Amino acid sequence: MRELFELCGADPELVFSPYCWRVRLALAHKGLDWQSRPTRFTDKELIAFSGQKLVPVLIDEGETVHDSLAIFAYLDQRYPQRPLLGGALAAERARLVERLSFHMVRVPLLKMLIPRVWQVIDPADREYFRSSREKALGMSLEAFADPQGGERLFREGVAPLEMWLRDQPFLEGQASGGCDYLLAGMLFWAWCLGAQPWAEDSALGAWFARILQTYEATHGPVKRAAIHLEENQ
């Protein structure tokens, strides 16, 4: 059996982590099934066997792999059909895309999504979420969160991708591949938390819809949170 330990909210079906979504999309790309193991922020004992504290963690045929990009590489090596990363050179390029998406997309989305994450997580996770994020950010959640500013930064960050996707249906060309899923995982994070900072009729919006539809065609509707935020959030 293949098991995927992935971050969930108070509702175990609400899976929203960008890194876990990358792995779901990669498994779907390979045509592989998996059993979800919903894991809350503080469920560290559930993943202790992996020797570290973050999800996603995949158990496949007795192998334990963590880290989304390492899981992509593992899946390519174990299941060579429909490569995600391709050869060593392509894998290095994917690492570059991963770093770019981290800074240009992940940071703006974090500014947008913090109030939403706060709402969906188990109340028992909130103290851990606050203290771990405030330590990493070097400031309070309230000082960092800026939904409008984050949305503006997101649009600026994805502007080059918008141009790219006007010329071809996927980042990787005519068919989706690892780089598409590295970025799409970030957008699934927003989507599952009920946000959509891209226009539906944009090239980026059409690209996201293609990836979402392909995933939903085999795995059913993706669960989204119904979130009501105050005017200024």
Please give the residue ranges that form the binding site for ligand GSH (CB under 6 A): 7, 17, 19, 41, 53-56, 67-69, 132
Which CB sits closer to ligand GSH, 53 or 103? 53
Which CB sits closer to ligand GSH, 106 or 203? 106
Which CB sits closer to ligand GSH, 41 or 215? 41
Which CB sits closer to ligand GSH, 122 or 162? 122
Minimum separation from the CB atom of position 18 to ligand GSH (A)? 6
Which CB sits closer to ligand GSH, 129 or 154? 129
Q: Are 4 and 35 in contact (CB under 8 A)?
A: yes
For residue 7, what are the β-bridge partners?
Answer: 39
Cite the DSSP H helix spans in 121-177: 126-137, 141-144, 147-167
Minimum separation from the CB atom of position 19 to ligand GSH (A)? 4
Which CB sits closer to ligand GSH, 161 or 186? 186
DSSP string, 27-88: HHHHT---EEEEE-TT-GGGGGGGTSS-S-EEEETTEEEESHHHHHHHHHHH--SS-SS-SH
DSSP letter (8 states) at residue 226: -
The CA-atom distances, in angstroms, between 149 and each of 110, 142, 177 are 11, 13, 31
Minimum separation from the CB atom of position 144 to ligand GSH (A)? 15
Minimum separation from the CB atom of position 5 to ligand GSH (A)? 9
CB atoms within 10 A of CB 106: 20
Minimum separation from the CB atom of position 104 to ligand GSH (A)? 16
Amino acid of residue 28: A
Minimum separation from the CB atom of position 136 to ligand GSH (A)? 8
